[in-house]
Structure 1
Amino acid sequence: MSAPSAADFDRLRQLVAIDDPDSRPTRTIDEVFTGKPLTTIPIGTTEDVTAAFAKARAAQQQWVARSVKERAAIIERYRDLVIANRDFLMDVCQAETGKARSAAQEEILDIMLNARYYARRATKLLASKRVPGLLPGIVKTVVNHHPKGVVGVISPWNYPMTLSISDAIPALLAGNAVVVKPDSQTPYCTLANAELLYQAGLPRDVFAVVPGPGSVVGTAIVNQCDYLMFTGSSATGRSLAEQCGSRLIGFSAELGGKNPMIVTKGANLSEVAKAATRACFSNAGQLCISIERIYVERDVADEFAAKFAEQVRAMKLSNAYDFSADMGSLISEDQIKTVSNHVNDAKVKGAKVIAGGNARPDIGPLFFEPTVLTDVTDEMECGRNETFGPVVSIYPVDTVDEAIARANDTEYGLNASVWAASKAQGEAIAAKIKSGTVNVDEGYALAFGSTAAPMGGMKASGVGRRHGADGILKYTESQTVSTARILNLDPPLGISAPLWQRLLTPMIRVVQALPGR
């Protein structure tokens, strides 16, 4: 297991939706672990996006003509190919992102879960459904679901397989074509999966990958798509929402988070401390749903902090292409600067570092230790702003109610974690947290992995949902077809118009009193 070969990258490069990619200007893709160049990627243009959309619109007409069952069979074959090629996919993921292999495997597992869930349920979820009509037995009403057309997906660098492919799968099953702009730092994660989709039988023009800068390729996708799926910062999400609104097209987004964990008296502190290392530091904290704030009842706060700090100090950082590492690298100079600035600012303003706190260039150019802070205040950069890195703060609280109030005191509402003395207490606390997902006795994986349930953010953390019925129906236009089976709403023969009008209200009242209305 190692970084993919030059031949691997050359093969995948030919899959970009760009004519003659070898003749284009390129961007260098570095191996994050070492900072050394891995390969290059051609830079797409507005014209490339326009061409991809033209081909996608033509291909979508043939794609939607296939049955949902046929489309699902392709996604099932793709899932099998993902499993068979998982080591190569994880190699690509580690090379481009610098994450530990365990975090790379999360992406494989997520794709497997989404592909299986939607492939097996798409037919039922997309089927036309009979609903009660205006007048039982007289009016037949059916709801149909039609694909939007061509869906645009703008995906980020932190989970580049999950957040491009898993979001595209339900769109494809719903009968749409998809045009993806992968993040410029991680295009081969998307291309490696595109190769498997094509091998599974997906027509190439139905799923097009156009790499390039967001200001060019991303803007062109927003201007031409029929629906946009975006994952990224809340600031960018607001801008894209405005652009989609001006075009009156649908928009779904998972955005930023400053996710809280609540720990109460009676919780198993050793268990919480161990699990919190995953909850806070998976993918070096570069995870929208990872934990950055921990509120602990004061009676057990010192004990928890000591146990957690001990676990964090024992974490192994490594650039190995195997499962030996607990945490990998940050992805870029920008990320390590943000993390360093947040930690240094906190220290200067009085915060205490009880674990970590230092860059680790001895391991690789972008490594930073998992870091635990106490005595953090709102005046510090990391107090209320998302760090999106391996930094978490512990806050003692006097009561559970205070913990809930402080957990909710943020513009974000993406994910939360609760550890209590009992499952019942944990679930009661979870119900009071203003967050799209809440995990009881886990950090984030249980809710995110429950693909039958909707996942997304409240407040500034997102719009719309992925997963579950919402995750596929958002890519469709619902259509109501009502048929007059016996008579329409004109007066029946022999009844005058005034009498008919007087009869309508009591008729509807009787209908509404029927069972099931």
Structure 2
Amino acid sequence: MTDVKAPAGPLGTNPVATAPAGARTAADVVTPEVVAQLTRDVVGSGRTANHSPFTGEKLADLPESTPGDVAETYERARAAQRVWAAVPVRTRTAVLLRFHDLLLERQAEVLDLIQLETGKARLHAHEEVQAVALAARHYGRRGAAYLRPRRHTGVVPVLTKATELRHPRGVVGQIAPWNYPLELSVGDALPAFVAGNAVVMKPDTETALTALWARDLLIEAGLDAGVFQVVLGEGPVVGPEVVRHADYVSFTGSTRTGREVAQGAAARLVGVSLELGGKNPLLVLHDADIERAAAGAIRSCFSSAGQLCISTERLYVHESVADLFVARFAERARALRLGNSLAYGADMGSLAGPRQLETVVRHVDEAVAKGATVVAGGVARPDIGPLFYEPTILEGVEPPMAVCSEETFGPVVSVYRFTDEDDVIERANATAYGLNASIWSRDGGRAHALAARLRTGTVNINEAYASAYGTVGAPMGGMKDSGLGRRHGSEGILKYTEAQTVAQQRLLPLAPSFGMDDAGYAAFMSRSLRAMKALGLR
């Protein structure tokens, strides 16, 4: 991590959460013994390191994989996958259910790692534990049903028997981001394992310990170590190699890099799922519960310091309630406690890296210079840590301010006022992105009608993002430049499989028989097709 100096200026108003007496430190958590245990299977002839956003100090020295190391890792994964695919599905799902219990029992360990590697508040780190536990339970309980052979009506009922089978793709190459290092690494890998695949994962180096800890816990739960491999290194070096050898690619990250990943996968004719960027809208309608909406907007905008693909960066408020809402929202934002201890109590943590701080400062400073107003925040907090920035609310944001259209990925939200619902839907959709949205209203019917008009993969009514994301039986993903494919539900596991149709013909062939000539057979089939339609066959 390069040194970043927060911009000079007066400190803001947000209070600092007090660390409890005897709070753990990085030295207590990331010991040489822990690092050696977690990295024991990582093939890497080079060395790299990761750092804590809280202080900028190095956390651990880590192996760094070369292209040759990645190829070797895939060879090991392929050998293990052939054995794993032959294991009964119920045995594979049992691993996830054991992992679920171990994760909840030992959550304090991974919460420390998540905080140290991302800088987020502990409650926001716990969101990752919740999400992974939900996915483990869901695919542990439903995985076998998703994968079971399915009967289909044959071309000629009774005479044709058709069955759909699902086979694992092989070795999934997964490139995971830094912002949710538990949920967006192992959380996406769980259904791949249930489907009989192996996974070669490249987590971000700065958050590698969290992903490695999850791998270690899965092995303890019964997963074959060879089925889950990790490679580490710089994205431009290791990332293309992960794509080059994969039978399927799972990527979460920026839209720019996602396009490159998609091109690499397309060149090899392998499938890919992509969850990419967002510039997500939140709509406060005229009949919204203002206190509830203001509290929800705080969660939607400032969880994990806004470094969440599905968090809100554009907030549309009906003119009739805008003054009251903005006052309540700003009051809550200024009261958020900032903190850097490995304990509950802080409402918001740090940005994760220098690039995020630079983007936040650039977007806010440019907007103010061009006429926007800072309603709350707008300043860095170097008194707490090198990458802290206050939760910030802007009004008067207009094109061509960068914050108006570019993804900030930080604790910054722009407030826009509206009077017409048709107009606000058009404005909310006027972006290249389409990942998540939030609507606040006392009228559920109207909110549902508006939700159906939003071009986003998920919409939450009277909640920020957790209600849709946490419903793991339903698909989650983006439209437009926000990605391809879905996680969760049937789509979240079936994407890791190849579909095969096996059809058996009985008694009669699908061809002229019993002395029929071609014309007679064609007439017979025409009558049969009309009869099947009349009988309501599908």
**2: CA distance, partners of 1:71 / 1:421:** 44
Partner of 2:20: none
8 Å contact kept, 1:15–1:209:
no
> In the alignment, is residue 111 of structure 1 matched against residue 139 of structure 2?
no
Name the residue aligned to 1:322: 343
Question: What's the secondary structure of 2:229's corresponding residue?
Answer: strand
The residue correspondences of 1:61-210 to structure 2 (distance < 5 A) are 61-210=82-231
- Do the aligned partners of residues 483 and 89 (structure 1) sit closer, same or farther apart at CA in structure 2, a change above 3 Å counting? same
Q: 1:275 — aligned with what?
A: 296
After superposition, residues 7-406 of structure 1 pair within 5 angstroms as 7-18=32-43, 24-406=45-427
* Counterpart Cα distance in 2 of 1:261 and 1:190: 31
Q: Which residue of 1 aligns with 2:18?
A: none
Tell me the amino acid that sits aligned with residue 7 of structure 1.
P
CA distance in structure 2 between the partners assigned to 1:307 and 1:507 by the alignment:
68
Asked if 2 retains the 8 angstrom alpha-carbon contact of 1:152 and 1:228, the reply is yes
The aligned counterpart of 1:494 is: 515
**CA distance in structure 1 between the partners assigned to 2:418 and 2:519 by the alignment:** 70
Q: Indicate conservation of the 8 Å contact 1:16/1:210, yes or no.
A: no
Shift of 1:381: 0.9
The alignment partner of 1:313 has SS state of helix
- Please identify, of 2-11 and 453-462, the stretch whose mean Cα deviation from structure 2 is larger: 2-11
Other structure's SS at 2:385 match: coil
Alpha-carbon distance in 1 for matches of 2:534, 2:213: 57
Tell me the CA shift for residue 2 of structure 1: 3.9
* 1:437 aligned partner: 458
4+ residue stretches of structure 1 with deviation over 4 A?
A: none
Checking the alignment, whether the CA contact within 8 Å between 1:15 and 1:195 is kept in structure 2 is no
Deviation digits for residues 156-175 of structure 1 (CA, Å, limit 9, x no counterpart) = 00001111101100001000
- Is 136-145 or 3-12 further displaced after alignment? 3-12
SS in 1 for 2:184: helix
The CA deviation at 1:428 is: 1.6
Deviates further, 423-432 or 59-68:
423-432
The partner residue of 1:420 within 416, 441, 450 is 441
What is the CA distance between 1:7 and its match in structure 2?
A: 3.4
CA shift at 1:515, angstroms? 2.9
> What's the CA shift for 1:8?
4.7
Instruction: Report the 3-state secondary structure (helix = DSSP H, G, I; strand = E; otherwise coil) of the residue aligned with 1:163.
Output: coil
1:8 and 1:505 map into 2 onto residues whose CA distance is 74
CA contact (8 A) 1:12 1:192 kept: no
How far apart in 1 are the matches of 2:103 and 2:370? 48
Q: Which residue of 2 aligns with 1:468?
A: 489
Aligned to 1:5: 30
Q: C-alpha displacement at 1:16, in angstroms? A: 3.9
Alignment partner of 1:447 is 2:447: no
| Alpha-carbon contact 2:284-2:441 (below 8 Å) kept | yes
Structure 2, unaligned runs of 5 or more: 1-23
SS in 1 for 2:343: coil
Matches of 2:535 and 2:204 in 1, distance apart? 55
* SS across alignment from 2:481: helix
Say whether the 8 Å CA contact 2:46–2:66 is kept in structure 1: no
Tell me the SS of whatever aligns to 1:145: strand
For residues 224-249 of structure 1, give each alpha carbon's deviation from its aligned partner in whole angstroms, at most 9, with x where no partner exists: 10000000011111111111111111
**CA distance in structure 2 between the aligned counterparts of 1:139 and 1:316, rounded to whole angstroms:** 66
Displacement of 1:509: 2.2
Tell me how far apart the structure 2 counterparts of residues 396 and 495 of structure 1 sit (CA, whole Å). Answer: 74
CA distance in 1, matches of 2:474, 2:138: 11
Q: Residue by residue, what CA displacement relative to the aligned partner does 1:304-356 show, whole Å, maximum 9, x if unpaired?
A: 11111000000000001111010000011111011000000000000000100
Contact 2:30 2:60 (C-alpha < 8 Å) held by counterparts? no
Distance 2:184 2:49 in 1: 22
Aligned to 2:438, the other structure's residue is in SS state: strand
Which residue identity does 1:162 align to in structure 2?
Answer: E
- Structure-2 separation of matches of 1:96 and 1:158: 9
Query: Does the residue aligned with 2:500 lie in a helix, a strand or coil?
Result: strand
Tell me the distance in 2 between the aligned counterparts of 1:189 and 1:410: 33
What is the rounded CA distance, in whole Å, between the counterparts of 1:8 and 1:182 in structure 2? 21
Paired residue secondary structure (2:434): coil
Cα separation, 1, equivalents of 2:160 and 2:439: 49
Report the AA paired with residue 418 of structure 1: I
Could you tell me how far apart the structure 1 residues matched to 2:372 and 2:37 are?
Answer: 47
Partner secondary structure for residue 229 of structure 1: strand
**Conserved in 2, the CA contact under 8 Å of 1:12 and 1:191?**
no
**TM-score for the superposition, normalised by structure 1:** 0.97
Say how many residue pairs are matched.
Answer: 513
CA distance in 2: counterparts of 1:505 and 1:78, whole angstroms? 56
Q: What whole-Å deviation, never above 9, does each CA across 1:114-170 have from its counterpart, x for those lacking one?
A: 000001111111000001000011000110001100001100000011111011000
In the alignment, residue 10 of structure 1 is paired with which amino acid?
V
SS across alignment from 1:153: strand
SS of 1:185's equivalent?
helix
Q: Deviations over 1:87-108 (max 9, x none)?
A: 0000010011101001110110
C-alpha displacement of 1:513: 2.6
Indicate if the aligned counterparts of 1:15 and 1:191 stay in contact, CA closer than 8 A: no
**Structure 1: how far apart are the matches of 2:465 and 2:405?**
20
Q: Could you tell me how far apart the structure 2 residues matched to 1:229 and 1:383 are? A: 29
Given residue 95 of structure 1, which amino acid in structure 2 is its aligned partner?
Answer: L
TM-score calculated relative to the size of structure 2: 0.94
Deviation at residue 422 of structure 1 after TM alignment: 1.6
Q: Tell me the CA shift for residue 449 of structure 1.
A: 0.3
Distance 2:533 2:87 in 1: 40
Residue aligning to 2:535: 514
Letter in 2 for 1:356: G
- Counterpart of 1:35, as a letter, is G
CA contact (8 A) 2:394 2:414 kept: yes
Structure 1 residue runs of 5 or longer lacking an equivalent are: none
* CA displacement 1:188-241 (0-9 Å, x = unmatched): 110000110111111111000111111221111101100000000111111111
Letter in 2 for 1:144: L
> 1:65-96: CA deviations, max 9, x gaps?
01100001111111111111100000010011
Q: Which moved more, 1:415-424 or 1:169-178?
A: 415-424
**Residues 184 and 10 of structure 1: is their aligned pair in 2 closer, same or farther, counting only changes over 3 Å?**
closer
CA contact (8 A) 2:240 2:264 kept: no
